[in-house]
Structure 1
């Protein structure tokens, strides 16, 4: 064989070998969905869709909502996990959940990463109606940002609040927890409050075309897995068992202060004329579609979905003066309120605060600040 032919043959073999090389092993290790099979689901759950759990990724907690008095001593939840990952204890194995949550560890396909989730079964209870914002803690893992929660009567964390802090963590660099868009504030109307600040996301944010991150806080959950790809879908307003109401909401009240930042910019970083505005609102909606599938609001439809039954709109608003201002806004019902749907756990409520009304589209002014405290929903 000539030298030329030998070189060609060697190159061809090299190319062929490269074609058969394995793809890199997956480094992700998430519980993507959890569910529980029950022969008679309505004996355990208020509605069939409750057999699908809510995952709070920031707190690494998976919550099933069950009827009061449910036997929790021998349950076998099932998990959809990241492709190639493994879970311990075994998927579908039976455990006693009557004394609290059970820890499950997910290991990535490449063996380099692990996440431990607390899986628990909580007895059904209504959404909280008084929010003092005194209960918060640092997220699991790297403890980069704060998470807020209300408490049940027995002291269990509801994990009913979420924010965009998890998205900011992707681009926020070395920001301290207090420098995140949503952080505690010491000098509240009473005790602690929440401070929402529109922040720059720096050079990393420009790469993702997300130059700002508005401070926000809402009842529901936040999906960090889609935060940079489909940001409007990341905010799950009113998602989870602790957003379901058992009474008719009438009035949204509380205290706030707002100071807009100096210059509004858009997604491209261009200056936009005008003054930034903050927003406060609550939305009551049907949490199940006509075909029986679960439903929550997101950034694309939080004020416009045809599932909405009532809204209490405090904002948008400009700068406030003179310290803490009280707000009080009636819920305006735009669709029929059905007592039978209420009795069946069919209504959920999202309470939402943001430091920039255009934050979902990355329009806002860096430095805009909204302080929130002592919020209540007056029920019928």
Structure 2
């Protein structure tokens, strides 16, 4: 590829990173950076005060507030922190009836050239899903480039509780089909559909950012593609969102998998590293608020090491398997005190994580490494 084409590719990648191209003197970004609801008595509406700050699923452009069961949501006025100079319609802080479903808000950039539409929901508090068959999936809304997985509540609401790095790969993925993305459906699962996680090359576009590979990953939480090339470890928000909060004590992580390592491990500079690639499966239980009451989630820098962690179920690292599907079962090991009062107040969240390359967060792995997963379950204390 010529130097000119490489420069064009770099420019395109940067523009996708910020979602809105920045070649105008006025700000061209159009994001909702934070959504919140003011309440004089927040505990009348929310289980805990931090629930007044919503979770934004940027991939599906959905903002979810989690409220107490029975809360009157017919006249609520959420407020939004926008990127500099952006405007929003309906008006910021205007009153709406959310009992009939999500309300759509359109954000327009300061230069008027770009828009994003977000759907804002108020969902009644419910616990995290504990059985994952991976049968429920949908296409990402912008350009239908890749799949998003979701579990459903009892009334059929999409939890939007699963995330992957697919939106980051989309920056440099070119014309990859949905099944060529790092995280894709697998038609021949243990039962029905499963998920296929594959470590992919990011090509010359990824090399520009010193991110030569993209490990297939899937986790409960959210992914911020705007940080994917700037601060990649911060892009993975493990356990972020109302549908990661648990109401029972996790005991065992079980499921089925197959793993095949790729041929050659490389590092972030693209240089060969000795050894054989490994995949990873694990779950982490953690306190979702800091001591000062601010919300907390794990990210790529601390997902197994944070002081907020209460318990871990570490299945991996995974070596090559043969002979079809293998069952895994791993107890949660509690490394900190488990407080029933914190549980009752919605103070514990859980993330379940799968990746095709154990070093993928540091862009170390073998292209072609493949992890298949299906029929995963977290056994909870009764």
**Common fold: TM-score over 0.5:** yes
Cα deviation 1:319-378 (Å, max 9, x = unaligned): 001000000000000010000000000000000000000000000000000000000000
Matched, 1:282 2:283: yes
CA distance in 1, matches of 2:131, 2:24: 51
1:1-380 aligned within 5 A: 24-380=25-381
Structure 1 residue 174 displacement after superposition: 1.1
CA distance in 2, matches of 1:81, 1:138: 26
CA distance in 2, matches of 1:24, 1:265: 40
Cα deviation 1:55-93 (Å, max 9, x = unaligned): 001101000000000000100000011111111000000
Aligned with 1:342: secondary structure?
Answer: helix
CA distance in 1, matches of 2:114, 2:95: 25
Structure 1 residue 23 displacement after superposition: 6.5
CA distance in 1, matches of 2:64, 2:136: 19
* Residue-pair matches, total: 359
CA distance in 2, matches of 1:204, 1:371: 27
1:23–1:179 CA distance, 2 compared to 1 (3 A): closer
CA distance in 2, matches of 1:29, 1:312: 39
Alignment match, 2:11: none
Cα deviation 1:242-261 (Å, max 9, x = unaligned): 00000000000000000000
Aligned with 1:170: secondary structure?
Answer: coil
Report the TM-score, using the length of structure 2 for normalisation. 0.93
Note if contact 2:150-2:158 (Cα within 8 Å) is conserved in structure 1.
yes
CA distance in 1, matches of 2:57, 2:295: 17
Structure 2 residue ranges without an equivalent (≥5): 1-22
Aligned with 2:34: secondary structure?
Answer: strand
1:23–1:175 CA distance, 2 compared to 1 (3 A): closer
CA distance in 2, matches of 1:307, 1:163: 23
Note if contact 2:24-2:111 (Cα within 8 Å) is conserved in structure 1.
no
Structure 1 residue 110 displacement after superposition: 1.7
Q: How big is the alpha-carbon RMSD for the aligned residues of Structure 1 and Structure 2?
A: 0.9
CA distance in 1, matches of 2:241, 2:329: 26
Alignment match, 1:14: none
CA distance in 1, matches of 2:200, 2:27: 32
Report the TM-score, using the length of structure 1 for normalisation. 0.94
